[in-house]
Amino acid sequence: MRLIDATYPIHTNIRTGTVMSLANTATGRVFSAFLSPKFTEKLLLDDRIRLGPDIAHPLDAKVVEDMIEETRTRGMSRSLNHPTPGIVAFSAPVFDYSGNIALAITIMGPTGTVDTDWDGPVARALHDCAEAVSKRLGYRRSL
């Protein structure tokens, strides 16, 4: 994980080594969407157990399933005020030469300061960045 701190303070932080929820975070949903379902199925169940309702305020399983499918369709994930109220995040996958997800790039900021539109400048810039890194890793989109 590489963390670039914001130039202005926000009311949350992430430390290197933090294990992100697969269901409740934009970053986690990117991995849930693009890793093998056989691999993530058990991890998603473990996620609910590991975090529990007092920590993660877990989303309903059907909501999570719909969000993961939306992530596949859109090619990125978005979190609006969940799991952290007042925080917006977009996350996009980076693929390697074999077409496997290698990492995710996530941008986050305070609600009201980050454009949350799927086609807005933040989402477009993140998408373009993830595609550029994927290309550098040898990924070629199949037609």
* Cβ proximity of 50 and 76 under 8 Å: no
Q: Is the pLDDT of residue 76 over 90?
A: yes
pLDDT reported for residue 9: 61
What would be the CATH architecture of the domain defined by 26-136?
2-Layer Sandwich (3.30)
pLDDT, tens only, 100-126: 999 999 998 889 989 999 999 999 999
Where do the H-state alpha helices sit in the chain? Answer: 26-34, 37-56, 61-74, 121-136
pTM exceeds 0.75 for this model: yes
Domain spans of the chain?
A: 26-136
Specify the pLDDT at position 35.
93
Mean pLDDT of 95-101: 96
